[in-house]
Amino acid sequence: MADIGIVGAGSWGTALALVLNDNKHKVVVWSALEDEIQMLNKEREHKDKLPGVKLPEEIVFTTDLKLTCQDKDILVLAVPSPFTRSTAHLMADVVKKDQLIVSVAKGIEEETLNTLSMIIKEEIPCSRVAVLSGPSHAEEVSRRIPTTCVVGAKEKEIAKYIQDIFMNENFRIYTSPDILGIELGGSLKNVVALAAGVADGLGYGDNTKAALITRGITEITRLGTKMGGNIKTFSGLTGIGDLIVTCASMHSRNRRAGILIGQGKTMQEAMDEVKMVVEGVYSAKAALALSKKYDVPMPIIEQINLILFGGKSAKDAVKDLMKRDKTDELSWEEY
């Protein structure tokens, strides 16, 4: 049995607490929100984010960060990506040397273009950082619907250890050394999912969705491999797998926000209606900046930025994507 602290009591942190409790580990979950912790302790249910899912009494919910972080075998950092740096900064004073931290959020910091594992390592230099990602909506994981994810770590032994801790008959874990590729796939797919939602909101069909998914993974793979990720990662669970589920499911907050934008709402109106952090909005500018930094054309990413921040209409963005210069999918020289 492992002693595990989960920092972040949102839908994903709570769902992972259930997985780990099912595996007979000791679990403490932290939130900075007093009202959230009171609700979880009183109702034993996350009424807002995972309604109907009962939380066992064995899981401890607290606002005490020291209690959550001190002397743990593993810490799971599950706050939304915009709060990763500030939360890691708070954790720095209470974690032990060589603390194993598993980052499970998805995003790229706009100001620095750093991935979340990079941010954690900056704020907590004494830590060992791994990542867990994949096509895994919390709503389904919490209901024990079969799900597969990937753990990324520099050391094979650490990846295997985390695999053993998390894996069960409903939650299958693969391992990989490609931390960067895993994080890029998980972050960039949120931006493409916004575009897929916009297309849905405009009333377009399956043809359009398929085009966005396939051309979206092409953009992600071009950038990811240019930055040093492995091409196999982008054809795997944290690449095309995560992109498919995020573009197709109504559990996806990014797709839901995109639908509302396609229907004519502003970015802020869409985020307010979704009532959860829409990670793709926070990663969109960073994705565009990375495409320019590494000189990788990413037309879908470019157009979603123009919709979100440039006042461009969704219909005009789709038209401009369709009217781009003729090109090959596979050139004769490559063939």
Residues that are catalytic: 189
166's tokens? 């998390």
Which letter does DSSP use for residue 292 in this model? Answer: H
What Cα–Cα distance (Å) separates residue 124 from each residue in 51, 119, 127? 34, 8, 6
57: which 2 tokens?
A: 């009494």
pLDDT score, position 6? 98
| CB 14 within 8 Å of CB 29 | yes
Q: Are the beta carbons of 114 and 81 closer than 8 angstroms? A: no
Place 252 in a pLDDT band, splitting at 50, 70 and 90: confident
Q: Of 3.40.50.720, 1.10.220.70, 3.40.50.300, 3.40.50.170, which CATH number belongs to 3-177?
A: 3.40.50.720
> Strand locations in the chain, DSSP E?
3-7, 26-30, 60-62, 74-77, 100-103, 128-133, 147-152, 171-176
**pLDDT tens-digit map of 61-102:** 999 999 999 999 999 999 999 999 999 999 999 999 999 999
- The pLDDT tens digits of the residues spanning 115-173 come to 999 999 999 999 999 999 999 999 999 999 999 999 999 999 999 999 999 999 999 99
Domain with CATH 1.10.1040.10 in the chain: 180-322
d(CA 286, CA 298): 12
Q: Residue 282's pLDDT is what?
A: 86
Taking all residues of the chain, what is their mean pLDDT, rounded to a whole number?
95
pLDDT of residue 250: 85
Supply the pTM of this predicted model. Answer: 0.95
Core vs surface per residue 47-82: b (16+ CB within 10 A) or e: eebbeebebeeebbbbeebeebbbebebbbbbbbbb
Which amino acid, one-letter code, is at 309?
F
Q: Are strands 147-152 and 128-133 parallel, antiparallel or unpaired?
A: antiparallel
Question: What are the structure tokens assigned to 265, written together?
Answer: 């709402």
Name which CATH class applies to 180-322. Answer: mainly alpha
Instruction: Quickly tell me which residue has 């909101």 as its tokens.
Output: 201
End-to-end CA distance of the chain: 53
pLDDT attached to residue 182:
98
What are the residues whose beta carbons fall under 8 Å from the beta carbon of 311, sequence distance 6 or more?
A: none
Residue with tokens 């780990």: 20
The torsion angles phi and psi of 284, rounded to 5 degrees, stand at -65, -50
Q: What is the DSSP letter of 52?
A: T
Q: How confident is the model at residue 275 (pLDDT cuts 50, 70, 90)?
A: confident
Q: What is the CA radius of gyration of the chain?
A: 20
Q: Are 4 and 99 in contact (CB under 8 A)?
A: no
Locate CATH 3.40.50.720 in the chain: 3-177
Which candidate, 191, 148, 183, places its Cα nearest to that of 169?
Answer: 148
Q: Summarize the confidence of residues 25-47 as an average pLDDT.
A: 96
- Residues 288, 307: contact at Cβ < 8 Å? no
Q: Does 304 have pLDDT greater than 80?
A: yes
Q: CA–CA separation, 301 vs 219, rounded Å?
A: 8
What pLDDT is stored for residue 13 in this prediction? 98
The answer to whether 162 and 173 are in contact (CB under 8 A) is: yes
How many angstroms from the chain centroid is the CA of residue 196?
A: 17
Q: Mention every residue, 6+ apart, whose C-beta is less than 8 A from residue 326.
A: none
